[in-house]
């Protein structure tokens, strides 16, 4: 039995907290930066965005981040990517050398182009053990114990294996990977491609278009990953093509839903408001564009999504631009 502190009480954090407590038998303590959320969970044992899913009584809650971090075998960051640095700053005084930190947020910091584990390391400035947990894992399905696979990634494979042992139980199967950079890159950029697929659906295009965007989108992600020194196999595994497929096609996908609304003519800001939750693909775009330029990699789908989201270009114009590109070999 492990003691686990969960920082963040969104759907993903609560779904994993539920799994760790109910299916794995661990002691789980959840923290939120919003005190009213803690009051709500204590009173209701429910998450408003996970209807019908009871939260185990064994899960405890705190408004004090020191209690959520101190003495824990694992501290799990489950806040949106834009709040990872501020949360790491709050947690830093209480994290100890050698403590294991698991990040389940997906994204890159726009100002630094750092991945989420790099942001945590940069803020904490201690020799902590970092793991990225990523894969095709919609919270709505994990919360009701549907069969799911995920990847525990760390440059220290023994730490990835420890996290694998802690999280693997019931219908959650955990694999390990030493390519943490590749796993985090996939987890971030798949959201951008999901925006493109959702936009395609919203414009009334068909399955052919969807398949092309998913396939060519992964080709773009893999090209950037190769330039950054990532392992090629990562992009065709669960954290790569697996996560891209589910994010680009699922009814649970915020990124797909947001793209769909934009494709139907909603302004981007209105589409985000209608989704009602964080759309990580939009947060990721600035860093994606800078990384593309830094490593001199051509990423036309990512560029097209950025043009629609951040430059006010028409989705129809971007389709014409993509379809009219110069001829090339598929694997160039």
* 151 and 80 within one domain: yes
What's the whole-model pTM score? 0.94
* 224 and 80 within one domain: no
* 225 and 142 within one domain: no
Q: Return the higher-pLDDT residue of 249 and 331.
A: 249
Q: Residue 277 is part of which domain span? A: 188-323
- The domain boundary, picked from 119, 151, 178, lies at 178
pLDDT average, residue stretch 101-110: 95
What CATH number did the domain enclosing 35 receive?
3.40.50.720
* 253 and 169 within one domain: no
Which of 319, 320, 322, 220 has the alpha carbon at shortest distance from 262? 319
pLDDT average, residue stretch 80-106: 97
Total domains in the fold of the chain: 2
316 noted as active-site residue: no
- The domain boundary, picked from 115, 148, 178, lies at 178
* 293 and 193 within one domain: yes
CB 131 within 8 A of CB 167: no
* 198 and 118 within one domain: no
State the pLDDT at residue 332. 73
pLDDT average, residue stretch 202-209: 97
Tokens 């560029």 belong to residue: 303
Report the C-alpha gap between 33 and 26 in whole angstroms: 23
Q: Does residue 330 belong to any structural domain of this protein? A: no
Report the C-alpha gap between 95 and 86 in whole angstroms: 14
Burial of residue 92 (number of CB atoms within 10 Å: 0-12, 13-18, 19+): middle
Report the C-alpha gap between 93 and 199 in whole angstroms: 43
| CB < 8 Å & 24+ apart, contacts of 45-48 | 47/9, 47/11, 47/14, 47/143
Tens of pLDDT along 173-199?
A: 999 999 999 999 999 999 999 999 999
- Exactly one of 190, 210, 274, 327 is catalytic; name it: 190
Tens of pLDDT along 260-309?
A: 999 999 999 999 999 988 899 999 999 999 999 999 999 999 999 999 99
């Amino acid at each position: 039995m492990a003691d686990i502190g969960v920082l963040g009480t969104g759907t993903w954090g609560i779904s994993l907290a539920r799994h760790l407590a109910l299916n794995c038998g661990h002691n789980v303590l959840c923290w939120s930066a919003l005190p009213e959320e803690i009051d709500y969970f204590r009173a209701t044992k429910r998450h408003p965005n996970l209807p019908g899913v009871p939260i185990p009584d064994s899960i405890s809650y705190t408004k004090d981040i020191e209690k959520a971090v101190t003495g824990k075998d694992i501290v799990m960051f489950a806040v949106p990517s834009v709040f990872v640095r501020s949360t790491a700053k709050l947690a830093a005084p209480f994290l100890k050398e050698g403590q294991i930190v698991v990040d389940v947020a997906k994204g890159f910091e726009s100002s630094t182009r750092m991945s989420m584990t790099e942001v945590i390391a940069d803020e904490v400035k201690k020799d902590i053990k970092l793991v990225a947990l990523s894969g095709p894992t919609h919270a709505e399905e994990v919360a009701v114990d549907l069969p799911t696979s995920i990847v525990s990634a760390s440059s220290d494979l023994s730490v990835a294996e420890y996290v694998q042992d802690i999280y693997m139980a019931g219908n959650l199967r955990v694999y390990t990977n030493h390519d943490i950079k590749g796993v985090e890159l996939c987890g971030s950029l798949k959201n951008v491609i999901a925006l493109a697929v959702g936009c395609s659906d919203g414009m009334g295009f068909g399955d052919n278009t969807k398949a092309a965007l998913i396939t060519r989108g992964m080709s773009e992600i893999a090209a950037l990953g190769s330039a950054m020194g990532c392992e090629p196999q990562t992009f065709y595994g669960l954290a790569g093509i697996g996560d891209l497929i589910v994010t680009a096609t699922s009814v649970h996908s915020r990124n797909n839903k947001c793209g769909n609304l934009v494709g139907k003519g909603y302004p981007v800001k209105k589409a985000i408001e209608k989704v009602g939750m964080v759309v990580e693909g939009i947060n990721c775009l600035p860093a994606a564009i800078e990384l593309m330029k830094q490593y001199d990699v051509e990423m036309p789908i990512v560029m097209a999504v950025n043009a629609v989201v951040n430059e006010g270009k028409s989705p129809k114009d971007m389709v014409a631009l993509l379809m009219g590109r110069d001829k090339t070999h598929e694997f160039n």
